[in-house]
Amino acid sequence: NATVTVCHSQSSNLAEITRSADVLVAAVGRPRLITAEMVKPGAVVIDVGINREGDKLVGDVDFEPLTKVASAITPVPGGIGPLTIA
């Protein structure tokens, strides 16, 4: 009984849509696009994105602030990447 919603980085009501998600999968290709204010408390966040900021790898979600909001979150690097390779 899930409703799947697909957005892109330019969706006009992106924050409103992401705040309604129980499970949020971010695969946008824009570093730290999804912020803590965009996520419902207790949501599960799956960060599929991998971006380079200087010599550091980061995901599409702003990981540290989201750890205080999400009930579970995948890290970048080390989250989804190894599953993709497997």
49-85 pLDDT, tens digit per residue, is 989 999 999 999 999 999 999 999 999 988 877 666 6
Q: What percent of the chain is modeled with pLDDT above 70? A: 93
Q: pLDDT class for 86, splitting at 50, 70, 90?
A: low
Q: pTM value?
A: 0.89
Q: What confidence score (pLDDT) does residue 43 get?
A: 98
74 lies in which domain range? 14-83
Is residue 43, in this structure, part of any structural domain at all? yes
Whichever domain contains 52, its CATH number is 3.40.50.720
Q: What is the mean pLDDT of the chain?
A: 92
Is residue 2, in this structure, part of any structural domain at all? no
The tally of domains found in the chain comes to 1
- 8-47 in b/e form (b: 16+ CB < 10 A) is eeeeeebeeebeebeebbbebeebbbbebebbeeebebbb
